[in-house]
Amino acid sequence: MNRLVTFTSDFGRQDSYVASVKTRILAGAPETMIVDVTHDVRAFTPVLALPPLIEIMQVAPPGTIHLVVVDPGVGSERRALAGEGRGYFFVLPDNGLPARLSEWFDEIRFYHLDHPELFGGRATATFQGRDLFAPAVAALATGKATPKELGPLVPTGSLLPEEGLGPAEADRLLIWNTDRFGNLLLEFFATLPPEDVRVVHRGRRIPYVSRYQEVARGELGCLINSTGWLEIFCREGDASKKTGLGVMDRVAGEIEGGSGRKLRFSGRGDSPTQ
């Protein structure tokens, strides 16, 4: 079986952590193809892995296994999970991200990997990405098990809530990423482009446009990008440097018309649709 696995983490590239996880997967499932989504998620902030996961789910084929390891609770009593839904499989810790993922896609079901020895894993104290999650991925990739065969169903209501971002604010938008070009990715994901967006920084409104070329070189603008996120850009420049803003900062913003959702909801169970 030739499965595709996507891998998202906060491991960075300085150390051998990413290679160790991938090698462990390939040792158990040699025909697996592994795609690195990003390993630069802000450390210890699991919900910030949700946007790149949503992006890669837009292009991944059915049957893809999505491995996401941003795990501040490693070695604790938090649960290790395997999930399935929307034609995909998921392997990740119960750290707030599964709860948010289930709010975006309510048909996803999660199962507790409560006996890792059954699939060749072990719940070590410091590197469960390699020792627990990678063997679970290999078991799924080879077809040796399905998520429901790896452990008992976890009721959606018992998933740990995400606590790092706080509730949504009507007139403030969170920055979840600064990309290679210095674009500031905001928490609003559009399913239908808004009619108008009013983003204000340092008392100045940033124009809402459809293309980068609609503002002069070196000037700021905001638009809905190709993957659906609202972003602040600087044409042929660096918006992060120009504004002084970065990940986890907030910017004043109001959205009119269209439809979409934010990373932060006002409360558990609220509809994400704007």
- Residue 268: inside a domain, yes or no? no
- Residue 163: inside a domain, yes or no? no
Whether residue 179 sits in one domain with residue 47: no
Query: By CB neighbour count within 10 A (0-12 exposed, 13-18 middle, 19+ buried), where does 183 fall?
Result: buried
- Residue 187: inside a domain, yes or no? yes
Structure tokens at 180: 């290679």
Whether residue 234 sits in one domain with residue 150: no
- Write the pLDDT tens digit of every residue in 32-64: 999 999 999 999 999 999 999 999 999 999 999
- Residue 274: inside a domain, yes or no? no
- Write the pLDDT tens digit of every residue in 60-70: 999 999 999 99
pLDDT at 250: 95
Give the model's confidence band at 267: pLDDT under 50 very low, under 70 low, under 90 confident, else very high. very low
Whether residue 106 sits in one domain with residue 60: yes
Assign residue 112 the CATH number of its domain. 3.40.50.10790
Number of domains in the chain: 2
Amino acid 172 reads R
Whether residue 102 sits in one domain with residue 55: yes
- Residue 83: inside a domain, yes or no? yes
Whether residue 154 sits in one domain with residue 32: yes
Whether residue 138 sits in one domain with residue 177: no
Whether residue 91 sits in one domain with residue 43: yes
Closest alpha carbon to 250 in 233, 232, 266: 232
Q: Whole domain around residue 199: which residue ranges?
A: 172-262
Whether residue 142 sits in one domain with residue 42: yes
